[in-house]
Amino acid sequence: MSNRFKPKFNIKKGDTVVVISGDDKDTKKPRKVLEVFPEKSRVLVEGANIITRHTKPSAQNTKGGLVKREASMHISNVMLWDEKKEVATKITRSRENGKLVRISKKSGEVIK
């Protein structure tokens, strides 16, 4: 992907989000973002989109078998969680002291 039209997302690693669509939809249960893949427009969310992998026995895993883990989901399926109002929120960006900060539209608080 060219750097010229690289997408900018409001969700970063370590943010608290809620899943707003899909099998794990729960707009009241905040979860943590483990990783963001901006080139694919996907995020890895803790405890959401669990898949089962069949693994062969190896030197590290002598038993093998079924391993459950999180799979990535599209970034449009999650929404940032506002800690103050305890509700999902959209984001606006503004500059403060020369730095670009994210501000919650619901509470008006700066998101760290």
| Domain coordinates in residue numbering, the chain | 16-83
Instruction: Spell out, as residue ranges, where the chain has pLDDT lower than 50.
Output: none
> Rounded CA gap, 52 and 55, in Å?
9
pLDDT, one tens digit per residue, over 36-45 is: 999 999 999 9
Q: Which is nearest to 7 in space by CA: 108, 57, 62, 76?
A: 76
The pLDDT assigned to 6 comes to 80
> Rounded CA gap, 86 and 2, in Å?
37
The pLDDT assigned to 5 comes to 83
Contact 27, 20 (CB under 8 A): yes
> Rounded CA gap, 63 and 55, in Å?
9
How much is the mean pLDDT over the chain?
94
The pLDDT assigned to 1 comes to 59
What is the four-CA torsion angle of 39, 45, 75, 112, rounded to 10 degrees?
Answer: -90
The model's pTM: 0.85
